Structure 1
């Protein structure tokens, strides 16, 4: 089937999808055995799911309206970003690293890449006159100097489609982790990541950190990834724990390749990776179990009320989608579950924003 052109604001991407996935009957939420069913994986990864559009719309607003704080919008993160990413002369020390989990077609990252490319390309031009378009102009974007690497991850069976979509939208950038990313600008990489394989996750972390010149990273404990995001990834109960532990492993990973205790180093650090999770609500009773378990390791923090054009998420999407930041706890809870998601949900109900 021909690729689909999707547009948000003034940014468009071309997305190839799997024809069988588009035409299949919904079955992705059935209970499944732990062995991977290739046809089922293709069904899930081969189509663009709606939460990816919501997440992409958020990032387009964020990168278009937040200037130099675009990658550190949350107040608690902004305050600690500068000393990690900049030296004493205020020059950023390395490229930023972004990671998408369970990317499927790569839709969210395609929009993220386009938005970041736009900010770098037009930051010195005339301001936008279209009120409906993101204003990427007349602001300082730190990623424009040294660039951004966006790692777009899913199971190995899904990475060929991701690579195809990256090549269609970014024909001049890398699509795999096959060497250093010394060029400035935005580069997207299709990478395999199996949540059930911690060793493979560690190898991916090491590979991404190694893509930066050693002198920039090895002497500090800054996060291996600056921003981690995922959409519509809460599918199978048998993968809940694997996904949560993958998030923990990624959140605890640092750039200090000389320190074998990355978890300890990360927890002693002032800042960990920002993690944003967006999912469409389908079977809340089942999905709530995931969020409860997630709370053992992360605080679940709702978007600020004035974030995203003073509350677009709450006006347009809350009740059909959940969207929050996962902030790594300094100390894991003794209990296996947390009630933080239920507290968030009750807050949404209290304001008539949640069915």
Structure 2
């Protein structure tokens, strides 16, 4: 397995792999040009035998497109519901569920939600109350996708809220609060100028005390693209306990696959 000390990896972030409703993989290449049209992508969640529909807006920028780490994390959530003991998330999610008071639904916060696929998948697979967040200009499309999947989320007993969150902004973080059992994110470590704001946000969320005696957990799916990514992990390991939960095999043309990490806050 490739490590954080390896040389830089040249990965095209616009090559996305999503399973279709028959479970077969199909590759979508979205070209980042002004002529790109809105795309509706159907994603089949096998464990609940239902579709999640996501609108992408390629011409609006990276936050409006599906990235590989998001689909990898959705697959693990799907596997968790289908094969509890085999999923890399089983230990984390089972502990959180057992620690919830009086059968209370898990409260999940997603950072950098983008199109919202991960947060919506968490709501339908776990039946959780999910708050999806991103920058203010991303919120309208995020809300569109939440509304488009409201029926399947409701049938599964979950809820999805959408709210803006600018990393490192004290006012935004205070509005969000710390009352979450689990924090999720995918493909959020790519711009080095965002490393410190993300660290500040995680310190606020994870090191703000525990719920039900359990330490707070941040689960992040990451596809490494640049050597500078290691700077984020070096800083994070000084503040959190970080472990690898799962590693996907590399896709064709790449030397590494998506890695899913668990960051545990220190009380």
- State the TM-score bracket (shorter-chain normalisation): 0.7 to 0.9
Equivalent residue for 1:170? 150
Residues 1:201 and 2:201 aligned together = no
How has the CA–CA distance of structure 1 residues 268 and 286 changed in structure 2, closer, same or farther, with 3 Å as cutoff? same
Contact 2:42 2:54 in 1 (8 A): yes
Length-normalised TM-score, structure 2: 0.73
Length-normalised TM-score, structure 1: 0.56
Structure 1, unmatched stretches of 5+, are: 21-41, 118-147, 175-182, 207-223, 253-262, 305-312, 331-355
Equivalent residue for 1:63? 81
SS of alignment partner, residue 16 of structure 1: strand
Q: Which runs of 4+ in 1 moved over 4 A?
A: 77-81, 171-174, 314-318
Equivalent residue for 1:5? 42
SS of alignment partner, residue 172 of structure 2: helix
Where in structure 2 are the equivalents of 1:127-146 lying within 5 Å?
none
SS of alignment partner, residue 56 of structure 2: coil
Q: What is the Cα deviation at residue 327 of structure 1? A: 1.1
Of structures 1 and 2, the one with the larger relative CO (CA 8 A, separation 6+) is: 2
Equivalent residue for 2:220? 277
Alpha-carbon distance in 1 for matches of 2:119, 2:152: 16
Deviations 1:66-91 (A, max 9, x none): 28xx997327x856864x423xxxx3
State which structure, 1 or 2, has the greater radius of gyration over its C-alpha atoms: 1
> Which of 99, 104, 107 is matched with 2:117 structurally?
107
Contact 1:63 1:71 in 2 (8 A): no
Contact 1:11 1:115 in 2 (8 A): no
RMSD: 3.1
Deviations 1:90-111 (A, max 9, x none): x32x332011100101011222
SS of alignment partner, residue 272 of structure 1: coil
By percentage of residues, which structure has more helix?
A: 1
Alpha-carbon distance in 2 for matches of 1:267, 1:274: 10
